[in-house]
Structure 1
Amino acid sequence: MSPLISIVMATYNGEKYLREQVDSLLLQSYPYLEFIFVDDASTDGTLTILRDYAARDSRIQLIENSVNQGYRKTFEKGILKAKGEFIALSDQDDYWLPSKITELANSIGDYSLIYSDSALVDDSGKFIGKKMSDIKRQIAYSSPLMYTFGAWAPGHSMLFRKDLLHFALPVVDYVAHDYLIGFAATCAGGITYLPKSLVHYRQHATNTIGANLKNATKPYKTKKERNHLINLRLQLIYERCPEGDDKVILKNFAQACAGYSINDRIKRVIILMKHHRAMLAYKGKSPLGSFLYSFKLLISIY
C-alpha cells in the first residue's frame, strides 16, 4: 500500500489564484493523500473558497488562524498536523502537474528530501520561457556544510520525510521554513534533485518569495543588521546539526564569523579553504574562484 502523503498549504489573501491551485492539488494522481490548508486570517474571499472545498472533499482539513501569524508559523502549524509519512508544501498561487506527487514519491528512494525543477509563468499562467534551473543552481545536497552559504531547494517543489521535523522545527523569524527543512535533510539521508518541471511557479507582484531574490525586500537595512542575521543563521545550523565532524566545523566557523579580531578573520578563511567544495557547492565556483572567495572572509563574512 502506498504511504500517506500530506499536502500542506498556507494561505493569506490569495483568492485570485487559489481555485486553480487547489484544483491542481485535488487532481494529483497519487492515490493516498490528505490536505491541510491553513489560512492566516485572510480578509478577502480566501476562506470562503477554502470552506467550500473542505465541505465537498473529506480529505481536506481546514485550519483558520484567528490573527495573522506570518507564513513561517502558518506553514509550521500545518506541518505539525500532518499525519503522512511524507509531506509536500504548497503555495497558494501556483499550479501543480497531476503527476507531481507520484513522480516525486517514485524518485525519492532512500533520500530524506527530493525537489524538482519548476516552469516559471506570469500572473496569467503563461510560460515566460524560463525554468527555475535557468536562474538558480539546482543540485543534490549531501552534507550540512553545503547549506553554509545558502542553498536552493524551494518548498513549493519539495517532498520530504516527516521524521525530519525534529531537526527542522521550530521555525524562526530570520530563516525561511523550507531552508530549515532542507538543512534537516542534509543531516539525515540527504537531498536529491529531479530535473523535471512539475510546478508552474507563478511570478507576480505580490509573491511572498519569488524566483528573483534580487528584487525581494531585504530583511535588513544596514550591513550591521545583515551580519547579525547571518550570524544568527550560522549559529542556528550549528546548533541543529547532529553530533559529529560537521557540527564541529559549523561551530568553529560560526564562532569565527561572529568575531572581529584578526585571528577570527584568519580562522574563518582557513576553515573555508579547507572545506570549500562543500561550503561553496551552491555557488558553483571553480577551484580558483573558491580559493579567492575564501580571502573575501578577511573583510566580510559573506
Structure 2
Amino acid sequence: MEKMSLKRVSVVLCTYNGEKYIREQLESIVSQTYPIHELLIQDDCSTDATPLIIEEYKEKYPFIRFYRNKNNLGFNRNFWKAFEKVTGDYIAISDQDDIWVDTKIEVLVGCIGNYLMVYADSVSFFDKIPSYVAARKEEFVLTGLRFISLQYGVLGHDCLMRKELIQITPKEVREKFVYDFALALVARSKRSLLHKVENLTYFRRHPHASSNLLQNVKGGFRGYLDGFLSLGKRNRLEISDRYRLMLPYLSMEEPLVYQYALYLSSGRILGIFRAGWITYVCRSELRGNTKSIMNKVRAYFLPLFLYGKWKYIRSLWGEKTILDK
C-alpha cells in the first residue's frame, strides 16, 4: 500500500485514573500495523499517575496529543469534547484498559469502504488475555429491536468511523444518549453501519464489577421493583424524550421497531406495557432461549427496566452473548 494513499486515522483515548492498565493499551495502539496519524488523549482530571505515564509516551511518540480537562466532564462529555479536536479522516475509539489486536486498524480501514461506521467484535478477559478464543456458536446479529430496546450492541472500542459522522450527529442526540449509541443510531439510520465479524479488541472486565453483576442477576427481581417505583411523571417524560428523539432515525421498513419507540415516546404507562408486548412477541431477537418462562417474563417487562436501573437490563438480557464472543 502506497503511503500517499493511506487515510489518516485518529485514535481518541479518554482517561481517568487508569494508571494500572494504561501502559498495556498504549503499547497495543503504538504497535498497530497501520500507521497512526494521531493519538489524541484527553484526561478527565485523574488524581493518580495516569498523566505522568502519558507524558512519558508522548516524549517517545510525536503523534501523541495530550489534553487535560480543568474540570471533570464525565466520560460521555469527555469523548465528545475530544472528538472535536481530531484532524484525521477516520476516528478509532479507545478505552484506557483494553488491549488491541495489532492489526485492528488495518482490518477496519480495509473494510469500511463507503460506510460511515464499521464495528468489529471483542473478547472479554480479566487479568490475562486468552491464548485461545473459541468460535462462537452463532453470529451476534444486531437487530433493530435489540439495538433500541437495550441501547447496546455497538461498543465504542470496537468502532472505526468517518469524521463526518461526528459532524452530522445533532447536539440534542449527543446530550441524550451515550456517545457510541448516538453515533451508531445516526449511522444505522443512513444504512451506513457495517459489522466486521472478527475479534479485534480484548475487552477488560474488572472482578469487582463482575461480582456486582452476579448479585444483580441473582436478585433480578429488584429491577422490576425499581421499574414500578420509577413510573413517576418525571421519569416517564425523560424516557419519552429519548425515544421521541430516536423516531426520525428509525425506518418504517421495521414497523415493530418504530412502533416500540412510538409507544415509549408517548410518556404514558399504557405505552410502556404495549411496548412490552412487542418485546415479548419478538423475544427471540433479544435472547436465544425463548422457551424459558423467566425469559418470557423478562421480555414482557423489558421496557419497564428503562425506568429502573440500566444495569439490570444488561445483566439479565444477554451481556455475555454480546461481550463474550
Task: Please report the TM-score for the alignment, with normalisation by the length of structure 1.
Answer: 0.75
1:224-235 correspondence runs (5 A):
224-225=229-230, 232-233=238-239, 235=241
User: 1:222–1:271: structure 2 CA closer, same or farther, 3 Å change rule?
Assistant: closer
Name whichever of 162-171 and 113-122 sits farther off. 162-171
Superposed CA deviations along residues 71-102 of structure 1, whole A, max 9, x for unmatched, are 11111111121222221110111111110011
2: distance between equivalents of 1:30 and 1:239? Answer: 37
Q: Is the 8 A contact 1:115 1:158 kept in 2?
A: yes
Mapped pair 1:255 → 2:265: yes
User: 1:4–1:216: structure 2 CA closer, same or farther, 3 Å change rule?
Assistant: farther
Task: Please report the TM-score for the alignment, with normalisation by the length of structure 2.
Answer: 0.71
Matched residues, number: 286
2: distance between equivalents of 1:211 and 1:241? Answer: 36
Q: Is the 8 A contact 2:44 2:71 kept in 1?
A: yes
- The offset of 1:132, in angstroms, is 11
Counterpart of 2:205? 203
Code of the aligned partner of 2:268: G
1: distance between equivalents of 2:303 and 2:24? Answer: 48
Counterpart of 1:127? 130
1:119-158 correspondence runs (5 A):
119-123=123-127, 125-127=128-130, 138-140=140-142, 146-150=146-150, 151-158=152-159
Code of the aligned partner of 1:149: S
Name whichever of 18-27 and 51-60 sits farther off. 51-60
Aligned residue for 1:127, secondary structure, equals: coil
User: 1:96–1:270: structure 2 CA closer, same or farther, 3 Å change rule?
Assistant: closer
Code of the aligned partner of 1:147: F
- The offset of 1:44, in angstroms, is 0.6
User: 1:122–1:146: structure 2 CA closer, same or farther, 3 Å change rule?
Assistant: closer
Specify every segment of 5 or more residues in structure 1 that has no aligned partner in the other structure, as ranges. none
Counterpart of 2:248? 242
Specify every segment of 5 or more residues in structure 2 that has no aligned partner in the other structure, as ranges. 307-325
User: 1:167–1:286: structure 2 CA closer, same or farther, 3 Å change rule?
Assistant: farther
Code of the aligned partner of 1:127: P
Aligned residue for 1:159, secondary structure, equals: strand
Q: Aligned match of 2:98 in 82, 94, 103? A: 94
Q: Aligned match of 2:16 in 12, 16, 23? A: 12
Name whichever of 175-184 and 91-100 sits farther off. 175-184
1: distance between equivalents of 2:79 and 2:197? Answer: 26
2: distance between equivalents of 1:88 and 1:184? Answer: 17
- The offset of 1:126, in angstroms, is 3.8
Aligned residue for 1:16, secondary structure, equals: coil
Counterpart of 1:171? 174
Aligned residue for 2:40, secondary structure, equals: strand
Q: Is the 8 A contact 1:100 1:198 kept in 2?
A: yes
- The offset of 1:58, in angstroms, is 2.2
Q: Is the 8 A contact 1:237 1:250 kept in 2?
A: no
Aligned residue for 1:222, secondary structure, equals: helix
2: distance between equivalents of 1:226 and 1:133? Answer: 38
The structure with the largest helix share of the pair is: 2
1: distance between equivalents of 2:41 and 2:303? Answer: 45
Q: Is the 8 A contact 2:247 2:262 kept in 1?
A: no
Superposed CA deviations along residues 2-59 of structure 1, whole A, max 9, x for unmatched, are 2212110111111111111111111111135211101010011100111222233221
